[in-house]
A and B are shown apart, each in its own frame.
Chain A
Amino acid sequence: MSQIVFEGVSKRFGETVAVDRFDLHIHDGEFMVLLGPSGCGKTTALRLVAGLETATEGTLRIGDRDVTGVEAKDRDIAMVFQSYALYPHMTVSGNIESPLVARRMHVDGELRKLTKAERQQRVVEAARVLGLDELLGRKPAALSGGQRQRVALARAIVSRPAAFLMDEPLSNLDAKLRAQTRLELVDLHQRLSTTFVYVTHDQVEAMTMATRMAVVVGGRLQQVGTPKEVYERPANLFVARFIGSPPMNTLAGIVEVRDGEPWVRVGEGVLRLGPIAAAEGRSVVVGVRPEHLQPSADGVAGEVRAVEWLGHERHLVCDVAGERVTVREPTVGDDPMSGRPVRLAADPAHLHLFDPDSGERLG
């Protein structure tokens, strides 16, 4: 069992609250991505699991064990650092071997140090998994970025830990290599079927790799769910505005009822709502993803300010009731002219309502 459980875990640095009362259950074998903007506390949360930081309050469990006060080396985890943290004076082989040298390992139910031969065998196995066989004698300085990243991964898998912790491991790679490595990480996760906890600010990484993701903003856990759940039903405005590229449009509005049907008034126009429980006259924030808005004969009124042509699609950047709204549409027909008035409508099923004060999702 290698579940990881945060129970009311907080971490404060002086006055600053980096992690604010986290309650998070990461299941055994899950690929959990902690996603958030920089400085949101996601890395601190990961370092708490690693034992590089100590929780100010709360309990942290790995497997069935309370590890809140357990030393990093005894937590049975492995970590991949953003900079890879390879020892520059050691060969690839020495680097991969390093977690095995000083620590005692569980071998056939017995806790002991590995022999030189056992260590060597594990290094060779880990190197084979990551395709590093040919590079074992080299120093990190003689490797490319992608190769160093593999060495960091090999060093993580060599100790066969209960969980892998990864802190933005792809951020130093170029875009092409990053896309390739994403697939390899997913593949590695499936092969090892071990718990992965992965920290990133890149939502593409979160969406493509996570079995579940946790969105962290301002030190607080905003939403936990599968990428699909988080994208389709954001729990609050933080999440709505953070996930999606371009992110969800949000507009202030007031609920109206006409002929028994609920609508929301935004500036001069109205959008039809689905069956929701919001009283007439209530102020709301209505959210709609760029791909769910389309120019139409009715709907809310605005003006096209710019057109971003991307080849496979184009983004109409519009002003609606004083807010910036992006519409994503296929590149069919002529590009609309800037400055042209436009009306935008959306399928009621794709509208999200939020409380303007708390930011929480309504319904």
Chain B
Amino acid sequence: MRHRGKDGLVAAALLVPSAVIFAAFFFYPLYRLVYLGLHRQNRFGTEERWVGWSQYREVLTGDEFTEGLQHTVLFVVLTVPAGLVLGVLLAVAANRPLRGIKVFHTIFASTVASSVAVASVIFLWLLNPQVGYFGDVGFFSLSDPDTALRGVALSSVWQNLGLTFIIVLAALQAVPEELYEASVLDGHGPVRRFLTVTLPLISPTLLFLVVVLVIFGFQAFAQVEILTGGGPAGATETLVFKIFQSQQPAQLGTGAVMAIGLFVITVVVTLVQFALLSRRVHYGR
């Protein structure tokens, strides 16, 4: 019993650093968000007034939030499947023992080394309607409200490709060679081999990537800010962009509620992904 008590103390002591960090950088800000969402500030931020949960209802059912959510979801739909498929294709193509293949590994992975800002500036020039190399491609046009989000998505797909590529390549290299050989002997062609051996064995990695890429998509901000500034006509204003715009004191409460809404949605979506996909994911060896 005394022994157990001592173990408990040690365990508590070891947990203190992470508890402190979580408290300072996660729980306290979350508490402040909830608090701000329950209040309204005057325009100088010098006084605040309790407005209660009605602010939550108003904001979360209001046009701003719904519109931001629509843009965000569309952005996720445009970036995640395309990014994942491209990353897997590149990794499968590059996962073969060819002379000089490492050069291609480096090239394909290189976008990891670029920041969102760098990627956005590159695509700002590529997609610029006046001088951009792809400025006249209507499908990605940044100046048309109907297509601008596609241009933003294109830059994100490109920027995330390196990460997807590296992670999928690592997963592919962990698939035992003998399984591929067994599949050859079983008479599988390349497509069947990919579907019956490769895909199931890298499925935990793909689940991880879906979750991460969806969260990246929900957090999209810098690429919007740099490429379109939310325009044209607010067509690319994602939720985080709208939250960012509500920085002046009078809108702090609104922004806080939207941030909480985004947080809850992200958590729910992630849980749903785990629940749905993990049934189709194979972890055992």
| Chain A positions near chain B (C-beta within 8 angstroms) | 50-52, 72-73, 77-79, 81-83, 85, 87-89, 98-99, 101-103, 139-142
Contacts and interface: CB of A to CB of B under 8 A. Distances in A.
B278 to A, nearest CB: 13
A51 B184 CA distance: 9
Contacts of B203: 89
A88 B185 contact: no
Of B178, B182, B185, B187, chain A has the most CB atoms within 10 Å of the CB of B185
Contacts of A139: 284
Interface in B197-213: 197, 200-201, 203
Nearest to B181: A52
B47 interface: no
Contacts of B185: 50-52, 72-73, 77-79, 99
A99 B178 contact: no
A52 B201 contact: no
Contact of B187 (A50, A79, A87, A103): A103
B187 A85 contact: no
Given A52-B181, A73-B184, A81-B178, A87 B197 contact: yes
Nearest to B200: A89
Given A81-B178, A85-B178, A85-B179, A141 B186 contact: no
Top 6 nearest A-B pairs by Cβ distance? A141-B284, A73-B187, A103-B187, A89-B282, A85-B178, A89-B200
A273 B184 CA distance: 55
Interface in B157-192: 176, 178-179, 181-182, 184-189, 192
Contacts of A140: 284
Contacts of A77: 185
B176 to A, nearest CB: 6
Contacts of B187: 73, 99, 102-103
Nearest to A167: B178
B196 interface: yes
B285 interface: yes
A151 to B, nearest CB: 12
B284 A88 contact: yes
Nearest to B179: A85
A31 B93 CA distance: 41
A116 B184 CA distance: 21
Given A52-B184, A102-B186, A103-B186, A85 B176 contact: yes
B284 A102 contact: no
B64 to A, nearest CB: 45
B73 to A, nearest CB: 31
Contacts of A102: 186-189, 192
B176 A83 contact: yes
16 contacts: A51-B185, A52-B184, A73-B185, A87-B179, A87-B197, A88-B200, A88-B282, A88-B284, A89-B200, A89-B282, A98-B196, A99-B185, A99-B187, A102-B192, A103-B186, A103-B187
Nearest to B192: A102
Contact of A87 (B184, B189, B192, B196): B196
A51 B203 CA distance: 29
Given A79-B182, A101-B186, 18 more contacts: A72-B185, A77-B185, A78-B185, A79-B181, A79-B185, A81-B178, A81-B181, A85-B179, A87-B179, A87-B182, A87-B196, A87-B197, A88-B282, A89-B201, A98-B186, A99-B187, A102-B189, A103-B187
Contacts of B189: 102
A72 B186 CA distance: 9
Nearest to B280: A89
Contacts of B188: 102
B191 to A, nearest CB: 11
Of listed B196, B200, B203, residue having the most chain A CB within 10 A: B196
A196 B182 CA distance: 18
Contacts of B176: 83, 85
A18 to B, nearest CB: 16
A99 B189 CA distance: 13
Contacts of A99: 185-187
B186 A81 contact: no
A119 to B, nearest CB: 13
B193 to A, nearest CB: 10
A86 to B, nearest CB: 8
A98 B185 CA distance: 10
Contacts of A87: 179, 182, 196-197, 200
Contact of A73 (B186, B196, B200, B282): B186
A85 B184 CA distance: 12
A139 B200 CA distance: 14
B184 to A, nearest CB: 5
Nearest to A97: B186
A142 B188 CA distance: 26
B272 to A, nearest CB: 22
